Amino acid sequence: MVKIAPSILSADFGKLGLEVRHLTNAGADWIHVDVMDGHFVNNLTFGPVVVSGIRPYTNLPLDVHLMMTNPGRFIQPFAEAGADYITVHLEIEEDISTVISQIRKEGKKVGLSLRPSTKVSDLLPYLPDIDLVLMMSVEPGFGGQAFQPQAIEKIAALKEWIGQKPVLISVDGGINPVTAPACVLAGADVLVAGSFILKRKPYSLGIQALKECIRGVK
Ligand code: DX5
Ligand code: ZN
């Protein structure tokens, strides 16, 4: 079953806990949390205290996407705050293997993410050590951007490389009922969607529309 992971980047930050509860009740499978450091991307969002603040509002996995140049010293705080998946970018300034070990040491699932311009082959050395690849289909930093279609080929290539390994492919950016089926057909297991889900109410409308459009594709 393909999972739908609403991104709370498009939520009302004035009532984040309630937004997480609404998304949970609306049928979300995971909650995607976009952490931005104002350096890796030109935007600033939330830190571990906010993750611990929303944690009591859902039993769903918290899928924490760290858009940070130097995530290393924040792995333990995000883990203790209640993250389930911790994803860092391949383009960071730190040693990837060290950061992967830090996440493992905390007992959390490990994700690696690629910007649209980063080659899938750069990821291959790490595939045996990770649980998830977060394929960016927009330039990270902001919600509401148009899906970049080259992500489809990258997902398909990655799927081949993954083969039978237990690594999930997640796609992030510009997901809607037009782009979602192509992603799933190419091999995506998780669809991250911010604006499509959160810009219409109730949230079950967007979540159901995404589930509906991929029915039968996988
Ligand atoms: C972008 C974030 C995405 C974003 C997706 O940097 O990683 O998770 O919120 O938003 P939409 O679905 O609006 O493209
Ligand atoms: Zn994200």
Q: Is residue 60's pLDDT more than 90?
A: yes
| Cα(183) to centroid(ligand 2), Å | 16
Query: Among 173, 143, 171, 172, which residue's Cα sits nearest to residue 159?
Result: 171
List, for residues 71-109, the tens digit of each pLDDT value.
999 999 999 999 999 999 999 999 999 999 999 999 999
Which residues are catalytically annotated?
A: 34, 172
Query: Is any ligand 1 atom within 6 A of the Cβ of residue 34?
Result: yes
Which run of H or of E encompasses 96? helix 96-105
| Cα(63) to centroid(ligand 1), Å | 13
List, for residues 146-172, the tens digit of each pLDDT value.
999 999 999 999 999 999 999 999 999
Query: Among 67, 90, 66, 61, which residue's Cα sits nearest to residue 76?
Result: 66
pTM, two decimals, is 0.98
List, for residues 1-58, the tens digit of each pLDDT value.
999 999 999 999 999 999 999 999 999 999 999 999 999 999 999 999 999 999 999 9
Query: Is any ligand 1 atom within 6 A of the Cβ of residue 58?
Result: no
Query: Is any ligand 1 atom within 6 A of the Cβ of residue 72?
Result: no
| Cα(180) to centroid(ligand 1), Å | 14
**C-alpha distance from residue 175 to each of 21, 172, 192, 210 (Å):** 22, 7, 7, 9
The reported pLDDT for the residue numbered 216 is 86
d(CA 144, CA 138): 9
Query: Is any ligand 1 atom within 6 A of the Cβ of residue 181?
Result: no
pLDDT band at residue 218 using 50, 70 and 90 as cut-offs: confident
Pocket test for ligand 1, best of 7, 44, 133, 183 (most atoms within 8 A of CB): 7
Asked whether 86 and 103 are in contact (CB, 8 A), the reply is yes
* Domain spans, the chain: 11-213
CATH class of 11-213: alpha beta
